[in-house]
Chain A
């Protein structure tokens, strides 16, 4: 009998591998191999408008020494940070409301519906609203509050951040909601019964349970916003130029892939560092479960208390 069961498990496993094979090959061919190729291309040379597959570090040295690269990276990180933070903070109360205060799913469906209105449409919508002859400026001018249009509304990092927040808010809501679903009303009641304030509930119960979703929603938005190159191109103006836009230009306009590839790899390293830093910061602020919550598994920290 045991033998038969093992035979079944074995066959099940084998059919699992067979089922996974086509998608696995597809992902290897169109994701793993190209990613390596991009890495390798970052060491190639661009000479007289042709690409020479050799090995050189000059693309990296060049990228690291250019001021424009540094500034546009900082702009990208700034845009990513604020977009991630604002969309997470904006969605948190709504996720809370859906998780604990209502039983209907109508709200969720309404938010999802807005997700299906295209990315470019939103960019154009914000251009219509924030533009120099846009809705806000023309309303303010006809009300006599300002004499000439507020220039900073459009073609600035501000316009990019507003638009990206609008684009990513549905995503953050979904991620936060699935994280908050792990917190049961019993958890909240227990904290209240033990005399916890609202702040305690948030800091000592909700964050340690839902921290993965909270960090995830911030990092997801941060990385996708900082890596975006179409919104900055259309709404960022001079001051809102991001490194993503420079990278896409190297690939699509100047044809200098090695330079673009090197910048892309550097940006990837920055993203990885930023992700590690965020997780670290949550631990330091004691908002994520660290050693403190598991004293038994870590006798050193238990004895310290």
Chain B
């Protein structure tokens, strides 16, 4: 009984996305059944639209830079959390979580006022800053439970053996935490690539992909939106799969390295 319900739940989640994907390949502009044959014309139309191409490029740039910034700041926060005593730790985890407890509306509006008062023009830079703010809480939440298991004495041991602080970080801490950090970075990339609610407040003349899709959505109902959506989904999945492969490859390499050392020793 529960099992049937779970299948129903999955179907509810998947159905709309399957519909979108199906109609992206529809030969006619109608978004209803009966299905009148398969074609790639909407993808070709999209590719011919310079607005789409530049929006896609901008989104990749924004998501890449935002996820790198988020990973640097977020990793430092996670490493700080395990060092601090309870009171400052509570304060830090509160302030680094607070931005997602509020609807994007508040964040977007307050950033709009800030940038205007400071005389900063809205551009991809403001979008990147806003996305970093938006992704940081997710990154910290995703990473902190793993970092909590990290044994600080390992760093101490490295220092004891004569490593500088930076060496201890680069040779001990970073390799141990890297899979977790990469996971958080990919999450941030996906979140940034999809973000629209804060983006509408801080975007300048250069559009992002969701902003481009939103402008299409406001104008008409066209299968172009389906095609753009499908491309966005496929791209996100590719990034996720790439991350999975990198992690898998790294785990395998580490394993074989360890076995190799064992033979030598």
Contact A27 B96, beta carbon cutoff 8 Å: yes
A19–B80 contact, CB under 8 A?
yes
Complex interface residues of chain A between 79 and 119 (CB less than 8 A to chain B) = 90-91, 93-94, 96-97, 101, 107, 110-111, 113-114, 116-119
Establish whether residues A30 and B133, one from each chain, have CB atoms under 8 Å apart when the complex forms.
Answer: yes
Complex contact B152–A12 (CB within 8 A):
yes
Instruction: Contact check, B92 vs A251: say whether CB atoms are below 8 A apart.
Output: no
Q: Is the Cβ of A128 less than 8 Å from the Cβ of B33?
A: no
Interface residue total, chain A, C-beta cutoff 8 A: 77
Q: Are B229 and A23 in contact (CB under 8 A)?
A: no
Shortest CB distance B247–A (Å)? 14
- Of A55-63, A65-73, A225-233, the one touching chain B: A225-233
Number of interface residues of B (CB under 8 A): 78
What's the minimum C-beta distance from B54 to chain A, rounded to whole angstroms?
18
Are A224 and B32 in contact (CB-based, < 8 A)?
no
Cross-chain contact A247 with B77 (CB below 8 angstroms) = no
Contact indicator B104/A133 (Cβ below 8 Å): no
Tell me the minimal C-beta distance from A133 to chain B in angstroms. 6
Bound-complex Cα distance A227 to B232 (A): 25
Q: Which of B85-102 contact A (CB under 8 A)?
A: 85, 88, 92, 95-96, 98-99, 101-102
* Interchain CB contact under 8 A, B79 and A19: yes
Q: Is B178 an interface residue (CB 8 A)?
A: no
Decide yes or no whether A248 CB sits under 8 A from chain B: yes
How does the 8 Å CB contact mask read for A204-220 relative to B, with 1 for contact and 0 for none?
Answer: 00000000000000001
In the complex, the answer to whether A111 meets B10 with C-beta atoms within 8 Å is yes
CB nearest to B115 among chain A residues: A34
Interface flags for B70-82 (1: CB within 8 Å of A; 0: not) read: 0011101101111
Contact B110 A38 (CB under 8 A): yes
Q: Give the residue of B2, B105, B129, B218 whose beta carbon is less than 8 angstroms from that of A229.
A: B105
Chain A 11-23 per-residue mask, 1 if CB under 8 angstroms from chain B, else 0: 0110111111011
Is B124 at the interface (CB under 8 A from chain A)? no
B residues within 8 A CB of A116?
A: 190, 194, 233, 236-237, 240
Cβ of B257 within 8 Å of any chain A Cβ, yes or no, is no
Q: B74 to chain A: which residues have CB within 8 Å?
A: 23
**Residue among A38, A101, A111, A234 having the largest count of chain B Cβ atoms under 10 Å:** A38
Chain B CB within 10 A, most for which of A12, A169, A170, A268: A12
Q: Please, which residues of chain B bring their CB within 8 A of the CB of A170?
A: 13
Contact A120 B77, beta carbon cutoff 8 Å: no
Cβ of B61 under 8 Å from chain A:
no
Cβ-based interface call for A35 (8 A):
yes
Whether the pair B133, A27 counts as a contact (CB closer than 8 A) is: yes
Select the stretch in B37-45, B195-203, B248-256 that faces chain A: B195-203
Q: Are B194 and A118 in contact (CB under 8 A)?
A: yes
Are A133 and B77 CB-contacts (below 8 A) given A16-B84, A93-B5, A264-B106?
Answer: no
A31 within 8 A of B: yes
Q: For the complex formed, measure the closest distance between the CB of A143 and the CB atoms of chain B, giving whole angstroms.
A: 12
Whether B103 contacts A223 by the Cβ 8 Å rule is: yes
The answer on a CB contact under 8 Å between B197 and A228 is: yes
**Chain A nearest CB, measured from B45 CB (Å):** 17
B: which residues have CB within 8 A of A?
2-3, 5-6, 9-10, 12-17, 19-20, 23, 31-33, 72-74, 76-77, 79-85, 88, 92, 95-96, 98-99, 101-114, 117, 129-130, 132-133, 136, 152, 156, 190, 194, 196-197, 200-201, 210, 213-214, 217-218, 221, 225-226, 229, 232-233, 236-237, 240
18 A-B contact pairs sorted by A residue (CB < 8 Å): A16-B81, A19-B80, A22-B76, A23-B96, A27-B99, A31-B98, A34-B114, A114-B14, A116-B240, A117-B236, A124-B229, A127-B221, A169-B13, A223-B103, A226-B103, A228-B197, A248-B108, A257-B113
